Amino acid sequence: MSETLWPYLLLVLVGFLPNEIWRLLGLIMARGLDEGSELVLLSRAVATAILAGVIAKLIMTPSGELAGMPLSLRITAAVCGFAAFLLARRSLFVGVAAGEAVLLAGGLLLGR
């Protein structure tokens, strides 16, 4: 296997296929379902809970440079972002900006 082609083969075999299979399964299962049906409601709840799990893990046990920032700072930034989001009548932009500002300010103050 050539050095340059190997990552591309990996991309298809261990990236594209194991990911795409779930979408295709959804395509097959969704046939004949109504958007207000109970199964769709349950699917939405499961999808939301999985996503929420991913979000929480990205904050609690992140990778890369974010892992170098203290857990308390990451949680504080997320809570501040959420509070700003609610105060600004559910503005995504305000919430994200506030969370990022707290994280950056904390990171710079801690001298990293």
DSSP track, 33-95: --TTSHHHHHHHHHHHHHHHHHHHHHHHS--GGGGGS-HHHHHHHHHHHHHHHHHTTS-HHHH
Q: How far is the CB of 30 from another protein (least distance, A)?
A: 4
**What's the Cα-to-Cα distance from 90 to each of 29, 58, 62, rounded to whole Å?**
34, 22, 26
Establish if 46 lies at the interface with another protein (CB under 8 A): yes
Task: Give the one residue of 1, 3, 35, 72 binding another protein; rule: CB under 8 A.
Answer: 35
Establish if 54 lies at the interface with another protein (CB under 8 A): yes
Task: Give the one residue of 1, 45, 72, 76 binding another protein; rule: CB under 8 A.
Answer: 45
Establish if 16 lies at the interface with another protein (CB under 8 A): yes
How far apart are the C-alpha atoms of 96 and 71, rounded to whole Å? 18
Considering only residues 84 through 103, tell me which ones interact with another protein, judged by CB under 8 A: 85, 90, 92-93, 95-96, 99-100, 103
Establish if 75 lies at the interface with another protein (CB under 8 A): no
